[in-house]
Amino acid sequence: SSSDKVSKVLHLRLVSLCISCTTATMPPSKLPKIDDLLKEHADKINGVRKGLEAKGLKLSEEYDDIWILRFVLSHKKEPEATKAAEFALDWRAKNAELIQAVKDGKAPWDFFEHIEKYMCADIHSKRTLDGEPVFMVRAGISNPKEVMNRVTHEQMMFKLLHTRERLFQICDKETRERRELVKALTLNDLNHVSLMGGTDRRFMKALTDASKVAEELYPQLLGRAIIINVPSFFSTLFGLFKSLLSKKTLEKMVVCPGKTLEQDISKCPYVRTKFALEDLPSQLGGKCKCLETTGCVGKIPNDQQTMIGGVGEDGKTRVTVAARDKHTAVYVVNVGDVATWEIEVEDHSVELTVTLKDENDQETTIMDTSKVKQSVDQKTMPTSGVLCFTFDNSFSLLTEKKVKYSVLVMPVSATAAEDRNI
């Protein structure tokens, strides 16, 4: 069918990008000088400005030649650039609250909490070697279904565009200060992605709609889109989301080979030449753990390797552990913190192991492996690091297990204060 032919062509394009990623020597790129670009495109920029003014639009200082330049670079014809800039100005006027909130570093919308809890996607605190901001996604552990059970289509779109605005403001500020055209880089980690799980039509619809709007609002924002830890069924997976990607986005994609959980990051030369090892998250083979903010991507620890479970009305997280599989829940702790947990398995049992991994990846056993149907316990942390609860159902050939659990980590300062009040 024509759909299959399109999918094959797109896959071949991604394979060719992967090959070039593997074989080419790619030193850190030198970003284009903004003053050279302004001079080169001066006539077209002036044309767009006059076209906007002719429509009665008064441009404030922030919508200057540098702002117009991105539209000029993305649209070959002046009328197209003018139309896109007009759309962006109208949208920005209608969404002034969102824009100001980003400028102020605030997010005063309650529904953001639901999205950030279940979606492991955010701007990394570190930059590339070229100083570009990096938006990272850990698709395999994100839970879009739980998100869309809690927010509307419009709210999800709003959050996605809020993130794009954050990226734009970072790039715009860096561009003006450095006098270089700074773009963002996205890095999508497909570790732990499954073919059947992790997708939700409601989320895909919101992502598609937001991407279409963002492409008009933020031209020249995306530098490269890197896909790493590609699963063996990538061709099938790509067929599911290829319709979300524009031709421009496809041309910017780089597919890197190798598995960072099993192999050295050097298997992906593109990532290696873009990042210092100290700034690359540990789940991607780097040394950055961001324990001070729980994790490098959103508020999820780097050691999290399974999909984030949904939380019921009783406050307990619910997960289904498939037969011959395991699930690990992780929490960042400090030395002296007290961790209290309550675990319940419906009908059957799982093997539970609790370990603590320090910053040097040395493991301490907090609770020896044992089969449990229910476990209630409390332990004081002997060191700082990541507390891991592993629910192992590998011994079961056919039966999946439904697990409910809650883990409360009380900071050492709080426990000390509690002791003083006794």
pLDDT at 267: 66
pTM: 0.77
pLDDT at 229: 82
pLDDT at 272: 75
Q: Give the Cα separation of 81 and 219 in Å (integer).
A: 10
Beta strands in 141-258 (DSSP E): 184-189, 222-228, 253-255
Question: Which helix or strand (DSSP H or E) is residue 122 part of?
Answer: strand 121-123
pLDDT at 64: 96
pLDDT at 167: 97
Task: Look at the block and give the residue holding tokens 């969404």.
Answer: 95
Residue 115 C-alpha from the chain's centroid = 12
Helix (H) and strand (E) counts in the chain: 14, 14
Q: Give the Cα separation of 290 and 281 in Å (integer).
A: 8
pLDDT at 383: 93
Q: Give the Cα separation of 369 and 355 in Å (integer).
A: 10
Residue pLDDT, tens place only, 13-41:
444 444 344 333 444 447 899 999 999 99
Ranges in the chain, pLDDT < 70: 1-29, 194-198, 232-246, 258, 261-264, 266-267, 413-422
Q: Give the Cα separation of 125 and 279 in Å (integer).
A: 9
Task: Identify the three-state secondary structure at position 159.
Answer: helix
Phi-psi domain of 33 (left: phi exceeds 0; alpha: psi -120 through 50; beta: other)? beta
pLDDT at 30: 72
Beta strands in 256-410 (DSSP E): 310-311, 317-321, 326-333, 338-345, 350-357, 363-372, 374-380, 385-392, 401-410
Task: Look at the block and give the residue holding tokens 């593997």.
Answer: 22
Residue pLDDT, tens place only, 342-371:
999 998 899 999 999 988 889 999 999 999
